[in-house]
Structure 1
Amino acid sequence: MTEMFLKYFREKQQQVQSEKVYDTQCPYCSVQCKMRLIEQTIVTRKKYVTVGKENPTSHGRICIKGMNAHQHALHKERILYPLLKVDGEFTRISWEEAYQHIKENFTKIQVEDGNDALGVYGSASITNEEAYLLGKFARVALKTKHIDYNGRLCMSAAASAASQTFGMDRGLTNSLQEIPFVECIILAGTNIAECQPTLMPYFEKAKDNGAFIIAVDPRETATTKMADLHLKIRPGKDAALANGLLKVIVEKNYQDESFIKEKATGFEEVREYVSSLSLHEIAELTGVPAEQIERAADAFGKAETGMIFTARGVEQQTDGSLAVRNFLNILIVTGKIGKPYCGYGAITGQGNGQGAREHGQKADQLPGYRSIVNEEHRAHIAKVWGIDKAELPRKGVSAFEMIEKMDKGEITGLFLMCSNPIVSNPNADFVKGALKKLKFLVAVDLFVSETARLADLILPATSYLEDEGTTTNLEGRVLLREAGFPSIGEAKHDWKIICDIAQVLGKGEYFSFSSAEEIFNELREASRGGIADYYGITYERLRKEGGILWPCPSIDHKGTERLFEQSFAHEDGKALMAVVSNVPEVPKEEPNENYPLYLTTGRVMSHYLTGVQTRKSPSLAARNFESFIELHPDTAKKYGIKNQSLVKVESKRGSIVVRSILSEAIRQDTVFVPFHWGDSQNVNRLVSPKLDPLCKMPGFKVSTVNVSPFVEKM
């Protein structure tokens, strides 16, 4: 009887259940984990499950965000068709009407205000093909110099530092596979356990193998708990801490003299400067005891092998690029670069943070990491694009500086792709006001974000499940994201939208692509011979090999796992060290009577960037459904704040209201607020608009605030 029942049940199950499997890739952090979405249909109901897929980076691991990514892609609030704002309300229109509005308004703006009155604001969440095409669109179809992207707020300090020190910038100088065998690791301003959790096994294996791990962070986190030594630094003092480490390394003769002589310049100047400093004064400045600085320097200096990783904690400061350079000084002085189990890693934040900055979205760059001011580079790209070199616009300005130009009326139209600058930029109220001054704002997005609400026209984009293309992860590994899921509603791929608009503007001959692979093949030619050389990478190879580390200059090249084994990328083949002052060129805010506490910002595991996507995922939103302020119990007591109570947090730029979480894990002079929420919980309303003078990175990690119990006005 049981066998008959099982047979009947199996037959019935086969009748009512079908299964489809879609190979894809996580749309969130820079690890870019490979995944499979399994769609099960039971009668008329669909059920979705995401599982990891083997790959060279995360080896089939996925985190809570990847596991639930499909929830935002399938959300009922996805934009399904073009929306035009009419009398303050969004109204459905056709694609043809949408393109006509763009043509009329963009043409009118450029006639009235000039070509450069149009701005293009891109994203590090789009594919390499789309990043490449967006840069070409700005410079060929719109003929504007004003293009930049939200990666300026994420990776610019590390990119600038690596380019100046090594002559090139790739997220990791080695592959992740080397980490388990490193003797000493410095994690400076990076919370990998919450931001890139699928990478943690590499560091856990290193610890199991005896590695000494040093973490630099003003807070105790899941990452610092793994460390052997936690340097609980005062926010904004990372450059000074690096000088303290350098001072001890030099005075105890841990430097690699032969490496310095053969492969570096600028050492004597650095040695002279750090020798003049007082370790006691550095300890006072940084809040890190001198004996801890010495212990960290001893560990790294004595180790045969070592790696340093930095992330936003060090980089998102008004001296972020120099702070990173100072940590790179430590690598060079000890000779721990270009060798097995020795190197640097910039832990990229956004999904395609590496690739998006290589192929033309930055104001000063052309594809292949070429410079827009270099005549030879300009000639190469002009030839690939089939235009005269003189037609290529010159250098524009950074993302936040573009917003300043909107406020001044110098940029009067904006094409915004997959970004939410009202939430992601500093001094957010100012940003909102500047965007409101535009004559015409077009937003391409999945949802009506805080910024898209201000748009005159919204165009619906496809999600990661629907949009095929390549991304480049934090290693510099190029990956192919398959995307077989059917497009939802009338949504179009970002690249298709760009090509269609170019066609309407009379530039269709330069954008006659019918697939992402066609665009990639042109990108390969454009990058050929450049620093970020993708020429030897093809879709066919990516499908077979699972990912290839650039540079890859030919089809038979296997990709480059370790950089700088023979020489650095400067003309003389040497790394360039730099003296970094304890006193930054752009002064940082320091606590005072009115604003007595440091504010630092960051992420939580369940959310990503401005939260537009993750807050649409019920499973993720349930884990963190509102923002919060983390502060020390003694600090809370001083200001009359109870645990889990509403708190008003105020800087000289504005205020927000968030719920308190009391924790002894944070310094008493510092509070922490995550940046994934908008409107009344948008922490970037409080952040200073001051920029790093070298890379134009805003100083997100150091502002000053006051806190008080929130009292609702009656």
Structure 2
Amino acid sequence: MTMDGPRVSAGELCQKGWTAGALLGAPDRLREPLVRDRRGGPLRPASWDEALDLVAARLRRVLAGHGPGGVAVFGGGGLTNEKAYLLGKFARVALGTPNIDYNGRFCMSSAAAAAQRAFGLDRGLPFPLADLDEADAIMLVGANVAETMPPLVRRLRRARDRGGLVVADPRRTATAGLASLHLAPRPGTDLALALGMLHAAVAGGLVRRDDLERRTEGFAAAWRIAARWRPEEAERVTGVAAADQRAAVGLLAGARRAYLLTGRGAEQHATGSDTVSAWINLALALGLPGREGSGYGSLTGQGNGQGGREHGQKADQLPGYRRLDDPAARRHVAAVWGVAPEDLPAPGPSAYELLDSLGTETGPRALLVFGSNPAVSAPRAGRVSRRLAALDLLVVADIVPSETALMADVVLPVTQWAEEEGTLTNLEGRVLLRRRAVAPPPGARGDLSVLRGLAVRLGRPAAEFPDDPEEVFAELARASAGGLADYSGIGYDRLRAGEEIHWPCPGPGHPGTPRAFLDRFAHPDGRARFVPVDHRGPAERPGGDFPLIATTGRVLAHYQSGAQTRRVPELAAAEPGARVEVHPDTARRAGLADGDRARVVSRRGTAEAVVRCTPGIRRDTVFLPFHFPGAERANLVTNPALDPVSRMPEFKACAVRLEPA
């Protein structure tokens, strides 16, 4: 097995009893720690004490030679609230490093930044999902929920039956197939589409002027830009007919209950924050946010995508959505943690910048990975894999031998979701208690236990790092108290009793906040902000040797990346390998037919996939699912250009060519 400098082969894993079939997706679990005695040597079984002692000793060596900046931590949006919280505390207290970020930076960060700018608060959906059941109109922008969130489709039924379901997506996805109106913009032009629709709303007299004057600021500045974007001009850039733009606005404005929801297709761009701001501007102009029965929201992806970004995994955040550069926030959290505020490190680099610096002269020399697989999921994955291979120490905690775990010096087998207790915060901001359903296999330990074991070996008191989820959650509640994401009124006792509690919940008797913004927005003056934004287009334009636009996303049979997505044989059979969706005319021009193996080539690398011809995709666009490893990694071609506000990479638009493999 080769992967830009891997440290273990399939044959070496077979020495431990894993077959090649297991690596390719047959059900299997990591059941004991694995360590590598020398660079390039095989992984071998080890006891937990040996593995943790080894990790701690090598971390101390790196810290002594390179200081706290020599160590980094990379987390995941699938971790429970307790794990995300303790991981952030571990990085900043036990390691003293500023270098911590997580894979949610690749998922929700643009929407979070835009919501913070507009509303003063980011909470995925600031209303319960059940509210969608009564919607007369819903517009989904870059969200294919029929494949990524199938249970959500039933909540679209009323809007669909009333002819009010609008989907904006370059492909005719399963979700677009349900829509009354499908808008198919060129990838990377969603912002222009939003500007054209805002122009249509203003020119058509559909703006709710009373809401603008009473509850918002900054409309005039946003309109000065949108005034130049007549729907006909937006059509020239996006390819979406001006009549369809006006029809979509009319459906939203004419509905008594209407929602505008963005997904990753709108957000994973180098202009992602501005793009989401443009859609929020449209929603504000139509009076949707803060009105019961209507609203704007972002469809959070991973299992704890909302909670995972609230409590300390992000490079610039402390628990409770507190900013790390806010002195008052530092004082509050430091007091809960029993450390001096000045001992907390400054904000560190964002996810891709962190990964891109690994193993360099000035970057971290050691990396601990929890709940993520950056060798597949990071943009420019070939380069990231080379950076992982250049580390002095790579430690991975996972449940399966993921592509990143195969490169590690130490692999720690941890429990998975059904084997442990903990809380998640779903996309509507509701905190859920997930109870243990089955016993973990002998040899697997919880992430909290791993962090506690390492912290103690690094000289921290055991009491600072509890491994009981309920005890960790109680500390998280104290650390979040007074913050935007205030959990201080939520406890396991209330959750066990079946209470449905949405944050913020700032006290034991507080009922929670299922619908934010009904009375006021979260800015000090209570008013929402229009943000003036203009279309710039993707960081990389098609042309010359790269005439097509590649975009990426999920498919129904898988959810995340690489080996972690193919543990069930029936699902693996449904999607045995990567496929590239392409219009039949585009395939013919490239000398390809349905079922042929093709290469998708960008300026960064080449991904291989089987051609799937579909007339439901734009002729200038190809679609690659990002789940697959090795030569089929879509992220070998994606562009790491970063959004200047959120530091989100540009996953959804890059220039490529298509050719026979």
2:217 alignment partner AA: T
Give 1:509 shift.
3.9
Q: How far apart, CA to CA, are the structure 2 residues paired with 1:211 and 1:377?
A: 47
- Counterpart of 2:622 in 1: which secondary structure? strand
Tell me, yes or no, if structure 1 residue 288 matches structure 2 residue 264. no
- Counterpart of 1:612 in 2: which secondary structure? helix
Tell me, yes or no, if structure 1 residue 660 matches structure 2 residue 611. yes
What RMSD, in angstroms, separates the aligned Cα atoms of the two structures?
1.5
In the alignment, which residue of structure 2 is the partner of 1:397?
Answer: 349
Give 1:95 shift.
1.2
Q: How far apart, CA to CA, are the structure 2 residues paired with 1:179 and 1:282?
A: 29
1:214 counterpart (151, 154, 166): 166
Give 1:370 shift.
0.7
Cα pair distance change 1:76/1:647, threshold 3 Å: closer
Judge conservation of contact 1:480–1:547 (CA < 8 Å) in 2.
Answer: no
2:446 alignment partner AA: H
Give 1:510 shift.
4.7
Q: Superposition pairs for residues 302-341 of structure 1, below 5 Å?
A: 302-341=254-293
Q: Deviations over 1:680-700 (max 9, x none)?
A: 100100011111111011100
1:638 counterpart (589, 598, 603): 589
- Counterpart of 2:397 in 1: which secondary structure? strand
1:147 alignment partner AA: I
In the alignment, which residue of structure 1 is the partner of 2:397?
Answer: 444
Q: Deviations over 1:657-676 (max 9, x none)?
A: 21111100100110111011
- Counterpart of 1:408 in 2: which secondary structure? coil
Judge conservation of contact 1:479–1:546 (CA < 8 Å) in 2.
Answer: no
Using the TM superposition, name which of 305-314 and 549-558 deviates more: 549-558
Give 1:407 shift.
4.8
Tell me, yes or no, if structure 1 residue 201 matches structure 2 residue 172. no
In the alignment, which residue of structure 2 is the partner of 1:580?
Answer: 533
Give 1:557 shift.
1.8
1:149 counterpart (102, 106, 131): 102
Judge conservation of contact 2:370–2:398 (CA < 8 Å) in 1.
Answer: yes
Q: Superposition pairs for residues 244-643 of structure 1, below 5 Å?
A: 244-409=196-361, 410-545=363-498, 547-584=500-537, 588-643=539-594
- Counterpart of 1:649 in 2: which secondary structure? strand
Judge conservation of contact 2:451–2:465 (CA < 8 Å) in 1.
Answer: no
- Counterpart of 2:475 in 1: which secondary structure? helix
Give 1:75 shift.
6.7
Judge conservation of contact 1:468–1:481 (CA < 8 Å) in 2.
Answer: yes
Q: How far apart, CA to CA, are the structure 1 residues paired with 2:97 and 2:154?
A: 45
Q: How far apart, CA to CA, are the structure 2 residues paired with 1:639 and 1:297?
A: 38
Q: What are structure 1's unaligned runs of at least 5 residues?
A: 1-70
Q: How far apart, CA to CA, are the structure 1 residues paired with 2:640 and 2:154?
A: 37
Give 1:487 shift.
1.7
In the alignment, which residue of structure 1 is the partner of 2:622?
Answer: 671
In the alignment, which residue of structure 1 is the partner of 2:6?
Answer: none
In the alignment, which residue of structure 1 is the partner of 2:639?
Answer: 688
Q: How far apart, CA to CA, are the structure 1 residues paired with 2:53 and 2:373?
A: 24
Q: Superposition pairs for residues 177-196 of structure 1, below 5 Å?
A: 177-196=130-149
Give 1:76 shift.
5.2
Q: How far apart, CA to CA, are the structure 2 residues paired with 1:426 and 1:658?
A: 18
In the alignment, which residue of structure 2 is the partner of 1:169?
Answer: 122
Using the TM superposition, name which of 692-701 and 295-304 deviates more: 295-304
Q: How far apart, CA to CA, are the structure 2 residues paired with 1:530 and 1:511?
A: 22
1:649 counterpart (584, 590, 600): 600
Judge conservation of contact 1:503–1:511 (CA < 8 Å) in 2.
Answer: no
Tell me, yes or no, if structure 1 residue 242 matches structure 2 residue 203. no
TM-score after normalising by structure 2? 0.94
Q: How far apart, CA to CA, are the structure 1 residues paired with 2:354 and 2:564?
A: 25
Tell me, yes or no, if structure 1 residue 96 matches structure 2 residue 18. no
Judge conservation of contact 1:182–1:211 (CA < 8 Å) in 2.
Answer: no
Cα pair distance change 1:629/1:546, threshold 3 Å: farther
2:36 counterpart (66, 85, 92): 85
Q: Deviations over 1:270-318 (max 9, x none)?
A: 1122112343221010011111111112222333332111111000010
Q: How far apart, CA to CA, are the structure 2 residues paired with 1:405 and 1:636?
A: 38
Q: How far apart, CA to CA, are the structure 1 residues paired with 2:388 and 2:310?
A: 27
Give 1:514 shift.
4.3
Judge conservation of contact 1:147–1:363 (CA < 8 Å) in 2.
Answer: yes
1:119 counterpart (69, 72, 91): 72
Q: How far apart, CA to CA, are the structure 2 residues paired with 1:552 and 1:508?
A: 31
Q: Deviations over 1:131-189 (max 9, x none)?
A: 00000000000000110000100010111111111000001011111112222211000
Q: How far apart, CA to CA, are the structure 2 residues paired with 1:512 and 1:574?
A: 40
Give 1:489 shift.
2.5
Q: How far apart, CA to CA, are the structure 1 residues paired with 2:578 and 2:487?
A: 41
Judge conservation of contact 1:133–1:495 (CA < 8 Å) in 2.
Answer: yes
1:702 counterpart (643, 646, 653): 653
Judge conservation of contact 1:184–1:307 (CA < 8 Å) in 2.
Answer: yes
Q: How far apart, CA to CA, are the structure 2 residues paired with 1:698 and 1:407?
A: 21
Give 1:543 shift.
1.9
Number of aligned residue pairs? 636
2:636 alignment partner AA: R
Judge conservation of contact 2:85–2:311 (CA < 8 Å) in 1.
Answer: yes
Q: How far apart, CA to CA, are the structure 1 residues paired with 2:27 and 2:569?
A: 12
Judge conservation of contact 1:233–1:288 (CA < 8 Å) in 2.
Answer: yes
Judge conservation of contact 1:472–1:479 (CA < 8 Å) in 2.
Answer: yes
Q: How far apart, CA to CA, are the structure 2 residues paired with 1:511 and 1:679?
A: 40
Cα pair distance change 1:453/1:611, threshold 3 Å: closer
Give 1:258 shift.
1.5
2:542 alignment partner AA: P
Instruction: Mark the structure with the bigger radius of gyration.
Output: 1
1:107 counterpart (43, 51, 60): 60
Q: What are structure 2's unaligned runs of at least 5 residues?
A: 1-21
